[in-house]
A and B are shown apart, each in its own frame.
Chain A
Amino acid sequence: MAEITLQDIIKPENQVYVKTKLMTDKNLSYCPGCGHGTAHRLIMEVVEELGQENDAIGIAPVGCSVLAYEFMNVDMQEAAHGRAPALATAVKRLWPNKLVFSYQGDGDLAAIGTAETIHACNRGEQIVMVFINNGIYGMTGGQMAPTTLPGMKTSTSPYGRDLQSMGNPLKMTELVAQLPGTYYVTRQAVHTPSAVRKAKRCIRKAFQNQLDGKPGVSFIEIVSNCNSGWKMEPVASNIWMEENMFPYYELGDLKVDGQLVEKK
């Protein structure tokens, strides 16, 4: 049998997977094993599949995904730290027929941007908000986030998060689900193929809500890893996430079609 060369493998007819053209060819700036890249790809695949390439406008945060505009191949704006929902609000109100989304980390969305998050959700802005919760500040070198778990070590909680002096992990998603302005609220993950498929369905639903003119925010939390900040190998970080993050941040829908989901 003739040997298969790299050139053979990458021939179009042999490809079983093609990257969406809505992801640029830029090398991702994320650490190997980080969930940010997967989340980017899912959003862009959905935008492409919905045929919204020319109508989507994204807002990038300040955090590791500050350069999301380098990778997502649609019109993008870069917000100040925490303010993405305010930018998205105005973009959507001034261009009501465009598909508007924000993308933020937990420091960005749940610490410095709490007010913007709560009020965009409370006003019921017709936008998609994607929230990457990795329990830490990745970009600045692993400091404590509002979502950092009890006892978890970070560079500003070097002896573990002490709830008494540092407060409790903030479940922003549960909080915004309570607001009448949110229409769809869900918490997903992207660390396994099945989780990815599920997360993609949710992202699609969120964007579809906006296209269908459904009232209110579609809010998707993605519980993700920060293997660098957690100081773990990528695989170990995913196991740690399943064992520690998921029990605290339970996956699943919190609100669908404007109705809170009953806990079983």
Chain B
Amino acid sequence: MGELRLMKGNEALAEAAIRAGVDGYFGYPITPQSEVIEYLMAEKPFERTGMVVLQAESEVASINMLYGGGGTGKKVMTSSSSPGISLMQEGLSYMAGAEIPCVVANVVRGGPGLGDIQPAQSDYFQSVKGGGHGDYRLPVLAPASVQEMSDFVPLSFDLAFKYRTPVLIVSDGLIGQMMEKVELFDTIPRLTDEEVIARYPWATNGKPKGKERRILTSLDLDPHKLEKHNFHLQDKYKQIREEEVRYEMIDCDDADYIIIAYGSSARISQKTLQLAREEGIKVGLLRPITLWPFPKQPIDDLVNKGVKGFLSVEMSAGQMVEDIRLTVRERTKVEHFGRYGGVIHSPEEVLEALKNKIIGD
């Protein structure tokens, strides 16, 4: 068993970065995730593992540091919260185009604009639909516990390098600020320069003797070539859709109704499940762990099994519910419930919504 600690989600993410053998973290302070860079600066990972930590002058700079660093085959990471992630969209689009691996954690807060600093889930669209310009998707992992804030760091890097793509970890102020027990995994040594060179032949770390030099770019002025590149990207996204869907099901076997919720909303809804069962209402929870690729198959299976309705519970005005509707295609009832602007819904409110919107008439 690994080391047990009581940590904030943000701290667990930072500690996991060190242990996952990350080579560089580049970030800019923003509430509610400033603990990530503060923890890293205090821990001196440059002494522990040789990891570089740099406070950039902005999120625009941070993401482009990832572009540069990731392009050399090193493991690079940043974290921010909603307004900062918006600034990173340009860089993410370029990196998707140039196929650069990296991990970006978003500890979501209320919006739009400066909004507030309280927990929200209103960055779902931005995360799962691409976010920046062009035809691309990014794998999105949604931790629902401090443990997953830690575990999803190495997992994200596996995906990032397997598919040569940026990967998003999307949590929120609740998961970031909350402390829970976390079992830390043992440190994975950073790759040596030789290992990086051997493993990632696409990376620009100096033209190998007698071989072609490498160019990393998202530009191709020949539309036919660019279309071909887009075909390649789409094939990759298809493979991710087929192979990387992750989700958790709780009490779904005998359920008449299903709540679909991710991250902190899933935690809150779990309590709703208990409350509902005490009243004899059979409710199950489907928790998407990957928001993209979205777990369509289990929803389809539940529809075919005859569940009477789905309630999408999100701390937003209703974003994921659109993906649920696309999957259910009017075969049964789908409704949304959620508080937003940084207000966290209570388990009781979720139960009320379930009764009024789904069970009701």
Contacts and interface: CB of A to CB of B under 8 A. Distances in A.
Interface of A: 62, 66, 78, 80-82, 111-112, 114, 137, 140-141, 143-144, 146, 155-159, 165-166
Interface in B169-228: none
Interface string B15-50: 000000000000011110010011001101010000
B143 interface: no
Contact of A82 (B29, B31, B55, B58): B58
Task: Please tell me the size bucket of the interface on B.
Answer: 20 to 34
Contacts of A158: 38, 41-42
A131 B239 CA distance: 51
Nearest to A82: B58
A146 B57 contact: yes
Contacts of A166: 55
Q: Which 10 A-B pairs have the closest CB atoms?
A: A112-B58, A143-B29, A111-B57, A140-B29, A155-B38, A158-B42, A156-B41, A156-B55, A140-B34, A140-B31
A80 B114 contact: yes
B114 A156 contact: no
Interface in B44-69: 44, 46, 54-55, 57-60
A59 to B, nearest CB: 14
B83 A80 contact: yes
A112 B28 contact: yes
Contacts, number: 50
Interface in B72-124: 83, 113-114
B57 A156 contact: no
Contact of B114 (A62, A159, A165): A62
A86 to B, nearest CB: 14
A166 B41 CA distance: 11
A166 B53 CA distance: 10
A158 B113 CA distance: 31
A111 B84 CA distance: 14
Contacts of A112: 28, 57-60
Contacts of A141: 29, 31, 34
Contact of A143 (B55, B59, B114): B55
Contacts of B30: 140
Contacts of B55: 143-144, 156, 166
A111 B34 contact: no
A166 B44 CA distance: 13
| Of A80, A81, A114, A157, most B-chain CB atoms within 10 Å | A81
Contacts of B83: 80-81
A149 B113 CA distance: 32
Contacts of B34: 140-141, 143, 155-156
| Of B29, B37, B41, B113, most A-chain CB atoms within 10 Å | B29
A114 B57 contact: yes
B29 A157 contact: no
Contacts of A137: 29
Nearest to B44: A159
B187 to A, nearest CB: 22
B38 A78 contact: no
21 contacts: A62-B114, A78-B114, A81-B83, A82-B58, A111-B57, A112-B58, A112-B60, A114-B57, A137-B29, A141-B29, A141-B31, A141-B34, A143-B29, A143-B34, A143-B38, A144-B55, A155-B38, A156-B34, A156-B37, A156-B55, A165-B46
A190 B222 CA distance: 60
Given A111-B57, A111-B58, A112-B57, 7 more contacts: A62-B114, A66-B114, A143-B29, A143-B38, A158-B41, A159-B44, A165-B46
B116 to A, nearest CB: 11
A195 B38 CA distance: 35
Contacts of A111: 28, 57-58
Contacts of B46: 165
A165 to B, nearest CB: 8
Contacts of A144: 55
A80 B114 CA distance: 7
A66 to B, nearest CB: 7
Contacts of A140: 29-31, 34
A140 B84 CA distance: 13
Contacts of A62: 114
B46 to A, nearest CB: 8
A166 B46 CA distance: 13
A165 B60 CA distance: 20
A66 B114 CA distance: 10
| Of B34, B55, B59, most A-chain CB atoms within 10 Å | B55
A153 to B, nearest CB: 11
A66 B59 CA distance: 19
A146 B114 CA distance: 22
Nearest to B58: A112
Contacts of A66: 114
A158 B42 CA distance: 6
Nearest to B28: A112
Contacts of A165: 46, 54
A41 to B, nearest CB: 24
Contacts of B114: 62, 66, 78, 80-81
A12 B54 CA distance: 55
A112 B83 CA distance: 12
Contact of B38 (A80, A156, A159): A156
A77 B246 CA distance: 44
| Of B31, B38, B44, B46, most A-chain CB atoms within 10 Å | B38
